[in-house]
Structure 1
């Protein structure tokens, strides 16, 4: 069981104690929660390339009296051509080793937008811990090792040849140069500098310089739903955040058992997630609207049968990410999620800096005329699902999120329900065993929603009850396959209670 950590003047939770420490350093120097979040994310961009980095995308929610949402997900380049992929025989976007699944990365734009609006310290100071680790080296984490060998064999992936065992020293000089460029001249130092030139060369027509000059960060209106006496907020489309809010809205009206250890609890929440998400492939795109109306929540809730798994028609037509959160002494909260999509991403590396490029383009459709069809300037549907919880008076209650591909809303549905409905402490809510709807890649859950298996972590007691209700079930080891959820809860007296997910092995909730 992961212990809940307590603090009075600020807290940072992340997947890596080095990142959480960098964030706390910013708070100690008078920085904001945004400064702390950027510093922590920048460290992770160095130390956790198997989850995130400058070659990936970013979403964030900020509570500073009210909730603001930042969409820093990249757009497909000017050379995007769905017809060409179809002519080559593709029916879906290539998963690995193909630059066409690499929209322009939005991470650096996200940092500069977040810092420009909420930062208090110079950006160079905020990025300094990450630069020091990239130049001087950092110990390889146990979770990096699974993909480091394959990454080292790819052109541009030589940084990871040193990661043979946990604790081996890894340096990333190209990433250090990219971070210094951002610190010196902002986003243009990255997109129009060494990294940008390498991306243009690697793309071989996939991108134009104008694609890199275009800012991939927008402040957008967040989505909200009332559940368990609180308002829960997430990012709007192209994020799948609506799935979390829709499932919470459904669950709020269900007769949940008093004990979450009962199989009825897992059944009802599983069904809430399934009826919320079964048509995701058809309805989620960057211009999607009206996904959270009261009538729509009620309509989907009525599909849930307490006594059996419901049959859902498919629509007509192991992911890696990192989540972190920070709260400062003034009460600002930041919920930030940043991702490569699948592990090291596309396994394509920008050759000059060695930055591994995401494969968020796998969210695009290759169906002609689909609103999310792969096309120039479009953003793909995204799994990234940050969350903020506020009390009815608008004050900050929690910042929370997780990695986990398609399963992010399912994981957060369980964590948030445990927190709000059952009053569990952050450590208990975050570390409790989970279920998720399984798929082959972590990004294909909704291809056939009636075929998805309910995967259960070791330590659950739901197996027999779920099978009796018609669920196909499977047991899986407790660990990173069920996400890394991190949570900071703000108590009524202002005390911060936080927990980093024990599944991350080296994660930390650090307070001051």
Structure 2
């Protein structure tokens, strides 16, 4: 029972973010550079998040928790499928040569040293040690020692709505987690077909997702009121605008994979969904030289428009796509822990999983293996993070293993449809654990080369 807790450790912009934003605008940039620029790097919050999560809920010592990672980093591991695919990219990055040799173990001695320091001396050994010093040098005024000394964590109540016969919970802003809640609430008042193969099923889920998200770029920022974003007053008219027979004409709005997810439930039925991310791929293509840790590019979520509420500024957290979820029964008991990678498509993937499990009774394995749709930008060269840059005008990408009738039915209703390969990597790597009395069921996404469902 009670309200699930959300740990936000997404990291804040350094104290030099204001002058950095001015310099970017002066250089002609209209958005924070996606690659090869330190401006995309907020103070990394992941380590602070680990320590805070362990301090509140950990049952083992931090050293015991980190020991396997230290062993793999120090003594080596075989490169996985994804690492082999990206060997060419990795070999061109500073610190990426560890991955370049065919048939060799990958050793990350700098990472092992950083993890040992954290295990021994806590977060300050990381933020105020070799990594932090290296980051400050790279930032050249973007970060101060005070920025790195400040804890990058905030505990808040999760954001919740009642929909699909359950209470759905997600991370509040600056996360886009509210989109899955809003889409589920909108969908809950529509006449959904009993058969997920029916193209009307896909159409209504697409429309609910569009109505929830078309103005995301204008309303999602650090400090946005999550309760207002999922209020019935705001979402009711959007639900009313949906037509079962035609795609809605939504006015334009403000223009503006390097993620993993783990869902777990323990014997006490405490559920945790944890998502952490470099934002896109290997991040911003910059490496801290001492530890050889790759730096993220999550700061690309900031706006360079100084009048925008998500403008890049000191101490601000950028809007981000990470959308961990929990589902509880009306009595407050845990029902599902779920999450996915997938950039902008995360809320759409989550909505499809929720409907399949909560409405149609699918198991986690059945739900995550089913064919999906994902919405993508209508513009050229989509990054996976720009779906809503043109308001509600989107392409509907459909996997080849999705129900055959979906594509024709969506085209008839006015959607722009694009076929995609079966079990396509770009449709998310989703995982879910359901709780039914003494029985736990887990499902790992077949789209993921490294995903697994494990019981201990």
**Where on the TM-score scale, by shorter chain, does this alignment land: which range?**
over 0.9
Q: In structure 1, what is the Cα distance between the partners aligned to 2:330 and 2:409?
A: 36
Asked whether the equivalents of residues 164 and 358 of structure 2 are also in contact (C-alpha less than 8 Å), the reply is yes
Pairing 1:311-350 to 2, within 5 Å after superposition: 311-317=249-255, 319-350=257-288
* SS of equivalent residue, structure 1 residue 510: coil
Corresponding residue for 1:485? 430
- 1:111 lines up with 2:53 in the alignment: no
Whether 1:441 aligns to 2:383 is: yes
Alpha-carbon displacement from aligned partner over 1:22-80 (angstroms, at most 9, x marks no partner): xxxxxxxxxxxxxxxxxxxxxxxxxxxxxxxxxxxxxxxxxx86411100110111111
Matched, 1:307 2:245: yes
CA contact (8 A) 1:147 1:344 kept: no
Any idea what the Cα deviations from partners look like across 1:316-367, whole Å, max 9, x if unmatched? 35x3311001111111111100001111111111111111111000100011
1:178 paired to 2:114 = yes
Change (3 A) 1:320 1:287: same
Alignment of 1:198-209 (within 5 A): 198-209=134-145
**Corresponding residue for residue 219 of structure 1:** 155
Distance 2:373 2:366 in 1: 16
RMSD: 1.2
Counterpart residue number, 1:193: 129
Segments of structure 1 that go 5 or more residues without pairing to the other structure are: 1-63
Q: Report the Cα offset of residue 401 of structure 1.
A: 0.2
Cross-structure match for 1:494: 438
Q: CA contact under 8 A between 2:221 and 2:309: conserved in structure 1? A: yes
Please say if 1:241 is aligned against 2:177: yes
Shift of 1:201: 1.1
Aligned partner (choices 68, 72, 75) of residue 5 of structure 2: 68
Distance 1:175 1:380 in 2: 26
Other-structure match for 2:66: 127
Any residues of structure 2 matched to 1:462-477 within 5 Å, and which? 462-477=406-421
**How far apart are the structure 1 equivalents of 2:3 and 2:253?**
36
TM-score (norm 1): 0.85
What TM-score do you get using the length of structure 2 for normalisation? Answer: 0.95
Q: How does 1:207-286 map to 2 (within 5 A)?
A: 207-286=143-222
Contact kept? 1:140, 1:169, Cα under 8 Å? yes
Match of 2:33 in 1: 94
Residue 505 of structure 1 and its aligned partner are, at CA, apart by 1.9
- In structure 2, relative to structure 1, the CA distance for the partners of 1:376 and 1:393 (3 Å cut) is same
Residue 158 of structure 1 and its aligned partner are, at CA, apart by 2.6
Q: Map 1:371-390 onto structure 2 (within 5 A).
A: 371-390=309-328
User: Structure 2 CA distance, aligned partners of 1:176 and 1:161?
Assistant: 19
The reply on whether 1:429 has 2:351 as its aligned counterpart is no
The answer to whether the 8 A contact 1:320-1:343 is kept is yes
The number of aligned residues is: 444
CA distance, structure 2, for counterparts of residue 285 and residue 66 of structure 1:
23
Instruction: Tell me the distance in 1 between the aligned counterparts of 2:247 and 2:399.
Output: 20
Of structures 1 and 2, the one with the larger relative CO (CA 8 A, separation 6+) is 1
Q: 1:155 deviation in Å?
A: 2.1
User: Residue by residue, what CA displacement relative to the aligned partner does 1:95-148 show, whole Å, maximum 9, x if unpaired?
Assistant: 001100000111000000000000111100010011011111112111223333
